[in-house]
Structure 1
Amino acid sequence: MEKVSIFGAGSWGTALGYVLAQNSQDILIWTHRPDQAEEINQHSNNKYLKNIRLPEKLVATADITKAVIHANVLVLAVPTKAIREVCASIRESLDKKVLFVHVSKGIEPDSLKRISEMIQEEIPEQWIEDIVVLSGPSHAEEVVLEQPTTVTAACQNTASAERVQDMFMNQYFRVYTNTDVIGVELGGALKNIIALAVGITTGLGYGDNAKAALMTRGLAEIARLGVKMGATPLTFSGLTGVGDLIVTCTSVHSRNWRAGNMLGKGKTIEEVLEEMGMVVEGIRTTKAAYQLAQKYNVPMPITDALYSVLFDGITTEQAVNALMARNKKNEMEDLINLL
């Protein structure tokens, strides 16, 4: 049995707590809101997982020091923009080496750091046993209904990935391992951009042809950037590549798809975020991916078009027209260059 603390009590953090509690791990979940901790201790978290009864073994606290001291495995389930702040708070209470597991999907704009790199910058090396990425096609709403779900635990140290695999795996939550941390992190982050774009085309009234085109060409540009940054090409054909892309671009549970859909129907970013009431990682990641494409000189036309909509004020219709009017290309060139 592992002693685990989850930092972040949104839908995904709570769902992972649900899994760990059912797996008989010693689990504590931290939230910065005392009222939410009290609700979880009454076995519900209705803002994020409506009408779900949480296991009695899932205990919550609003005391971050208590959460740090409790565990030898710390799971970070906060939005990307909160990673550094939460790590700084964790750092103040660390007195032993711990295994970090992060489950967020994003890239920090400007610094262009992946989440594992942010953790390494904020937590002294003496307190880090290892860092594992847990990612894949997984909606919290389906996990807590115990519907079949598969994800990947990625770490350069296979033993650490297998430890996380053993912690989480059960009859409905299957975990694979992978050593390609860069590819797994980039696949999980960049697919949110494509999901926003697919949502926009749906909001504009376009059909399955447009959706298929964006998903296919979106995967190509994700892989192009990933390989340039050191990822293994095959990772993008796995769970954290095409798998996560499919589920995020096609599901009503997807925040990024829903946000894009509202943008396609004419709402402003401010209106979308207010109505969503939750973090939409793809908006922030679009800025970071746009910067990465420039840094590595990688063509990412879908990312460029979405950036223009989100940050330059062009209309969604103009962005679609610009994508369709691009110069002619040979499709196989992209695929061959990835090998």
Structure 2
Amino acid sequence: MLEACDLTSVFEEDYIDLGRAGLGTCLLAGLPDWLIAYSARLVRFINFERTKLPEEILRHNLEEKRKFFLDISEEVEKNEAEIQAEGVYNQRLQNLALTLDKVRYVMRSVFGDPIKAPPPLEKLSPEAVVSVLWKGEGSLVEELVQCMAPHMEEGLLNDLKEKIRHDPSGSVDLRRELQKSLLWLRDEIRSLPCTYKCRHDAAADLIHLYAYTKYFFRVRAYRTVTSPPVYISLLDLGPKYTDKLGSGFQEYCKTYGENYCLGQLIYWHNQANADPDCSLGRARRGCLLLPDIASFCAKVQKPSHRQRVYGPRTRRFMLAGIPDGNHANDPDGKIPHKFHI
């Protein structure tokens, strides 16, 4: 998604892959380039999945059937796995087509012409990242100092502020210089004493995550729109809804939130979710949204309880959920998204 949103044009290869999948002009006409590029990347994933899925389905089916049966025909099971994989492939393409149709409707409602819709994600430039993390108003460093202030001696706090005045934006390689500055800050924060109300070790671990984050982006929120009313009668739903609807017609309008398009494009494979933006808000923690820097420090009016303190045990538990980079050793591993430092 982020890669597609950063593009300014569509390549011929994208149209070829989309056409081979049966997604042609009728579906793609009038869509912005970034959305077509994103669709092409999804189609490539679907094609890749189609080549790998029969083997995975076969392995799973054999494991399950061997628990109950002794005589199993592998040839029959292979054929069944191919049929199931083809069904998944067709369902994926259908879900993608439905997603594009839904997103087109919302974009037309918001912008008049879908092709005018800007990408929902904007990758930050190195200069913007420096501003967001280090020196801008409301930056990560500024919020860090504000959170630490009630829990530190004034002399220590002033010394830290003086050291932080270093500005990495003057470097030729902004990304590398910012990373060095964040790692320096991490070590400075880690050396400070911890209390139950202010866990500097947690703040240092969090700064470490920010320092090694490859891409930062911001979400472009679209305007919230409401669909024209649809009138529903009892005949549309059946007799079991008599108590809920009563007699006559009920007016129903669908409201599309400001992040509906982003949620729908992320959850393109699931058409059963009426509000994908709500699901995205819950699921993005840990994989799309880093914890807030203020989470390491308790609010003065709400002191932390000892049993909720971030410590070595919590840290080991958190690290256990992060892959070591060798995905081949644990292809099914997932990063838990419910961590709260």
Q: State the TM bucket, normalised to the shorter chain.
A: under 0.3
- Superposition TM-score, scaled by structure 1 size: 0.22
For the pair shown, the structure with the greater C-alpha radius of gyration is 2
